[in-house]
């Protein structure tokens, strides 16, 4: 399927448009009905405003949900499960786990918690920590044992494999597995016994791995924690300290261990691209009502560090025992792209010594305090190869590790489910019965899952751009502070603090302008003795006004606020 622009065409005949057509017809029939028509039109606009729907005539002709439906259809993303699969899910979710519990490591005595965002829809990972006698720590990463419920050859497995991954959108989630599993028996809800696969990793005082153990287990999560609350707790917030007094010592240990793990990872060359991510809030009709920057505090980084560690441990385990595996691989930079990126940063006065993870990390540290830093990280991300799945351990360039796989999210990623099956088969001694079949399917599955992931990510990005356009369509004329993130012949793109991007077209700038490719700037204007040449360069802070929005094209147009204000002032004077 082609990756062209999503079908986001305008739909004729929505209710509001039809009502307005009838209003116009009434006006034509008789002047006597003109006042009545005016009242009807006013009522329609009032109702639309109350429901936060777009007003007819503002360039939006259908609801956000309809637009999202069109995008999902274009990318062939499945929104529902058939009745047979739902029935199978309900049956499986009702399985009695008591007999299985006796066959597993009983870890219900551990103080295990889940830590996720406030808007998280599934909880497939929990963490625990125990102090060791030598001053080290035992980290527990406990992942829902989806493989016990979803068996090969079932409808559930076929549907999960076809999807490859869950899709997360502002107004909905398209789960890889039915809700009876993803939000039920496979979700690590607090106070509930849950079947898990645990990675128990012993670290020394410096955070170095001493030993590890992988086990099928049963846990009982103590609490469903939210990132924001944990961040406040670790910062000493009195209300959170009182609320979670029994969890505070463990969470402090976790934060301390995570900091050591991160230092080690970065020292080894792992890239830490802190790219801004938008959080889009929608109302009950699916219309965007707020776009903010998603926070990435201590708690978020802590869980990320723990999941990265568990994935590395499992990948090394699979490789060392020759288990079938879908590795997460990330190849080195393409030489041409590396040269282009080096030329770009050279134009900013920076020097990339070599296109290795260590060389790139040194560059990022050097550029961290510069205004162009967000632009540099974005361009580096685009210059890097795309991560994918492979049946062979080809290494992960961005993480600077030779062994890496996805183990921590089997509810929402099929490769994780495949890895769980191989691990569990190895633990139970049943690997010899399934090894040949798993090895035979691994190459094809890696290609399929990589394609499904790319397709889903493109759909998510398209929906995000749609939501941003719909949000900004109601803010025509408003002024914002932003940052120049790209300079091209036809103008420059400006990113607002909430990541919304728009174009300042060169035709809206007075005078004649030229692009300096080496310095990555536009220079020009109307030069006078009192007004020298104006320059717009990457990383420059600017004030822009929202000029126009094309929702169908998901395009936002800005103009420089100063020029717009002068134009408005001139118009008033005349």
pLDDT score recorded for residue 37? 38
Residue pointed to by tokens 């009709």: 285
Taking only the tens of pLDDT, the chain with its 574 residues reads 433 333 333 333 334 344 444 334 333 444 443 444 344 334 434 433 443 333 333 445 588 999 999 999 999 999 999 999 999 999 999 999 999 999 999 999 999 999 999 988 789 999 999 999 999 999 999 999 999 999 999 999 999 999 999 999 999 999 999 999 999 999 999 999 999 999 999 999 999 999 999 999 999 999 999 999 999 999 999 999 999 999 999 999 999 999 999 999 998 999 988 788 999 999 999 999 999 998 889 999 999 999 999 999 999 999 999 999 999 999 999 999 999 899 888 888 899 989 999 999 999 989 988 888 888 998 999 999 999 999 999 999 999 999 999 999 999 999 999 999 999 999 999 999 999 999 999 999 999 999 999 999 999 999 999 999 999 999 999 999 999 999 999 999 999 999 999 999 999 999 999 998 878 889 998 877 766 789 999 889 999 999 999 999 999 999 999 875 665 555 554 4
Q: What are phi and psi of 218, to 5 degrees?
A: -130, 135
* 68/282 Cα distance (integer angstroms): 13
The full DSSP string for 328-342 is: EEBPPPPHHHHHHHH
Instruction: Copy the structure tokens of residue 254.
Output: 């976790």
* 114/123 Cα distance (integer angstroms): 7
* 24/44 Cα distance (integer angstroms): 13
* 456/236 Cα distance (integer angstroms): 39
Question: What angle (nearest 5°) sits at the alpha carbon of residue 511, between those of residues 508 and 513?
Answer: 85
Question: What angle (nearest 5°) sits at the alpha carbon of residue 512, between those of residues 506 and 516?
Answer: 75
The full DSSP string for 177-238 is: S-HHIIIIITS--TTSEEEEEEEEEEE-TTS-EEEEEEEEEEEE--EEEEHHHHHHHHTT-H
Q: Which residues contact 208 (CB under 8 A, 6 or more apart)?
A: 264
CB atoms closer than 10 angstroms to residue 367: 20
pLDDT score recorded for residue 517? 83
Strand ranges (DSSP E) for 383-468?
A: 388-390
Determine which helix (DSSP H) or strand (DSSP E) holds 486, and give its type and residue range.
strand 479-488
DSSP letter for 33, please: G
- pTM of this structure: 0.85
């Amino acid at each position: 399927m082609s990756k062209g622009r999503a079908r986001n065409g305008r739909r004729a005949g929505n209710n509001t448009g039809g009502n307005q057509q009838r209003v116009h017809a009434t006006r034509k029939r008789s002047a006597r009905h003109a006042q009545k028509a005016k009242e009807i039109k006013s009522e329609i606009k009032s109702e639309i405003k109350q429901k936060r729907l777009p007003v007819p005539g503002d360039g939006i002709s259908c609801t956000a949900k309809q637009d999202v439906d069109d995008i999902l259809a274009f990318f062939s993303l499945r929104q529902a499960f058939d009745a047979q699969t739902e029935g199978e899910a309900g049956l499986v979710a009702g399985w009695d786990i008591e007999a299985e519990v006796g066959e597993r490591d009983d870890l219900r005595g551990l103080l295990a918690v889940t830590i996720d965002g406030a808007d998280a829809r599934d909880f497939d990972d929990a963490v625990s920590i125990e102090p060791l006698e030598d001053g080290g720590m035992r980290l527990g990463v406990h992942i829902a044992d989806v493989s016990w419920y979803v068996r090969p050859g079932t409808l559930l497995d076929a549907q999960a494999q076809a999807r490859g991954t869950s899709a997360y959108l502002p107004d909905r989630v398209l789960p890889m597995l039915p809700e009876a599993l993803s939000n039920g028996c496979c979700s690590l809800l607090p106070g509930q016994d849950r079947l898990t696969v645990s990675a128990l990793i012993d670290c020394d005082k410096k955070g170095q791995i001493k030993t590890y153990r992988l086990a099928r287990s049963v846990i009982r999560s103590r609490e469903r924690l939210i990132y924001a609350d944990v961040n406040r707790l670790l910062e000493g917030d009195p209300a959170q300290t009182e609320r979670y007094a029994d969890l505070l010592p463990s969470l402090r240990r976790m934060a301390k261990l995570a900091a050591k793990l991160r230092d080690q990872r970065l020292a080894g060359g792992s890239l830490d691209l802190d790219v801004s991510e938008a959080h889009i809030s929608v109302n009950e009709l699916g219309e965007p009502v707020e776009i903010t920057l998603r926070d990435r505090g201590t708690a978020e980084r802590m869980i990320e560090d723990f999941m990265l560690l568990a994935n590395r441990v499992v990948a090394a385990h699979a490789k060392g025992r020759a288990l079938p595996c879908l590795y997460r691989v990330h190849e080195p930079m393409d030489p041409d792209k590396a040269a282009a990126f080096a030329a770009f940063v050279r134009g900013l006065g920076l020097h990339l010594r070599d296109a290795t993870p260590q060389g790139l990390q040194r560059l990022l540290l050097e550029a961290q305090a510069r205004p162009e830093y967000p632009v540099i990280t974005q361009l580096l991300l685009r210059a890097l190869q795309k991560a994918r799945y492979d049946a062979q351990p080809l290494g992960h360039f961005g993480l600077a590790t030779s062994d890496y796989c996805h183990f921590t999210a089997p509810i929402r990623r099929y490769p994780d489910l495949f890895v769980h099956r191989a691990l569990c088969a190895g633990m139970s001694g049943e690997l010899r019965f399934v090894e040949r079949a798993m090895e035979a399917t691994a190459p094809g599955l890696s290609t399929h899952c990589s394609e499904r992931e790319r397709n889903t990510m493109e759909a998510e990005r398209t929906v995000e751009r749609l939501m941003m356009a719909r949000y900004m369509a109601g803010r025509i004329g408003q002024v914002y502070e932003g940052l120049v993130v790209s300079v091209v012949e036809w103008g420059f793109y400006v990113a607002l603090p909430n990541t919304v991007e728009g174009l300042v077209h060169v035709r809206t700038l007075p005078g004649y302008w030229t692009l300096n490719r080496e310095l990555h700037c536009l220079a020009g204007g109307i030069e006078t003795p009192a007004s020298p040449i104006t320059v717009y360069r990457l990383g420059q802070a600017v004030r822009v006004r929202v000029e126009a929005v094309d929702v169908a094209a998901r395009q936002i147009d800005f103009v420089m606020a100063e020029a717009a204000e002068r134009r408005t002032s001139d118009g008033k004077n005349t």
